[in-house]
């Protein structure tokens, strides 16, 4: 009996040992499965936190709109690409360091919060005319550390290419004001293309740089003018404040006071001020810019304004 009992006890011990040895292995397997399930669940959660291409691109489009300050027309153009997941416009705007854009009324608008709002854009149309007058205008601009767009006509550039080079060499931006200063809005597309593109070529041939700003003569470019300008990488604009210097006569008294009144009565943050290469405007310019500074305005550098991709 003692031997049998010992054998039975020995066998029972062996069975008990085998059972307890298998339990940890089973638990480890279960833990691994739980861990895998947990990893899978976390991975799914991580994936759910990443927006789909469509929703991500919509957010990018929204950010692009907020940071780059696109106009509605530009947003219409980019909305389709934004919905497919392309988010390059904001990056491009940041890279190019464009601080402003023009709204539908051609006012200068900051792209981001914190950018100076109380600015004006200075522009001069219908040149280049005379070296002495150009130098006088630019001397005043330099005095006030200001830049202005000089919108030139092609026929004047052809007559005096040295005057165009003078403007360029003195560091002022040059804009396209068509070849003949005609009303473009009722012209055919081939004629409008000729009016705009011949100026683009002439300016580039003389200065090495094609204009990026376009102002239609008389402020009337029409849909075709806008289309051709855009195709040539030109920012189309008219103005939001007119100096009315073009209505004045040589023998009219007190032209400086009249110009000051015309500008300041319409003045507002972002004003796009239209002036011309005229003797009385050159004479009054220092007073005008001084008055603007006294009112707390700064002069926006046109190079900081968004333009279409060429």
Tell me whether residue 107 is in a domain. no
**pLDDT at residue 31 above 50?**
no
State the average pLDDT over residues 272-295. 98
Do 209 and 229 fall into the same domain? Answer: yes
Tell me whether residue 183 is in a domain. yes
Q: What is the spatial distance between Cα 89 and Cα 87, in angstroms, rounded to a whole number?
A: 6
Known catalytic residues are: 125, 276
Model confidence at 309, pLDDT cuts 50, 70, 90, reads confident
Q: Are strands 100-102 and 108-110 parallel, antiparallel or unpaired?
A: antiparallel
| Beta strands in 224-310, from DSSP E residues, in sequence order | 235-236, 241-242, 271-276, 298-299
On whether the pTM is more than 0.75, the answer is: no
Q: Return the C-alpha torsion angle 302, 303, 307, 310, nearest 10.
A: 130
Do 34 and 61 fall into the same domain? Answer: no
> CA nearest 174: which of 298, 281, 302?
302
pLDDT digits (tens, 9 = 90+) for 137-159: 999 999 999 999 999 999 999 99
Do 58 and 35 fall into the same domain? Answer: no
pLDDT confidence of residue 156: 98
* CATH number where 256 lies: 3.20.20.370
Say how many C-beta atoms besides its own lie within 10 A of residue 168's C-beta.
17
Do 242 and 296 fall into the same domain? Answer: yes
Q: What is the spatial distance between Cα 288 and Cα 305, in angstroms, rounded to a whole number?
A: 23
Q: Name the domain count of the chain.
A: 3
pLDDT digits (tens, 9 = 90+) for 168-223: 999 999 999 999 999 999 999 999 999 999 999 999 999 999 999 999 999 999 99
Do 186 and 297 fall into the same domain? Answer: yes
Do 136 and 261 fall into the same domain? Answer: yes
| Domain range for 66 | 53-96
Question: Is the distance from CB of 280 to CB of 245 less than 8 angstroms?
Answer: yes
For tokens 């149309």, the residue is: 125
């Amino acid at each position: 009996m003692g031997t049998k009992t010992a054998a039975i006890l020995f066998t029972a011990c062996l069975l008990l040992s085998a059972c307890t040895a298998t339990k940890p292995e089973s638990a480890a397997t279960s833990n691994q499965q739980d861990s895998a399930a947990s990893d899978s669940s976390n991975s799914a959660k991580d994936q759910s936190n990443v927006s789909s291409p469509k929703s991500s691109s919509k957010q990018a489009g929204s950010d692009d709109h907020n940071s780059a300050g696109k106009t509605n027309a530009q947003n219409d153009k980019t909305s389709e690409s934004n919905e497919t997941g392309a988010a390059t416009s904001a990056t491009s705007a940041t890279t190019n360091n464009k601080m402003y854009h023009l709204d539908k009324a051609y006012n200068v608008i900051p792209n981001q919060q914190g950018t100076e709002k109380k600015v004006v854009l200075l522009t001069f149309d219908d040149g280049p005319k005379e070296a002495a007058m150009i130098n006088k205008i630019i001397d005043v601009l330099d005095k006030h550390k200001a830049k202005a767009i000089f919108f030139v006509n092609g026929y004047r550039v052809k007559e005096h290419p040295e005057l165009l080079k003078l403007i360029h060499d003195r560091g002022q931006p040059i804009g396209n004001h068509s070849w003949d200063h005609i009303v473009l809005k009722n012209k055919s597309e081939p004629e409008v293309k000729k009016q705009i593109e011949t100026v683009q070529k002439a300016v580039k041939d003389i200065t090495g740089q094609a204009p990026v700003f376009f102002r239609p003569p008389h402020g009337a470019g029409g849909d075709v003018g806008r289309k051709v300008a855009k195709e040539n990488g030109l920012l189309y604009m008219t103005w939001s404040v007119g100096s009315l210097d073009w209505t004045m006569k040589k023998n009219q008294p007190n032209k400086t006071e009249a110009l000051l009144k015309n500008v300041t009565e319409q003045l507002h943050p972002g004003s796009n001020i239209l002036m011309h290469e005229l003797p009385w405007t050159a004479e009054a310019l220092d007073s005008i810019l001084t008055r603007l500074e006294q009112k707390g305005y700064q002069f926006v550098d046109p190079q900081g304004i968004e333009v279409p991709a060429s």
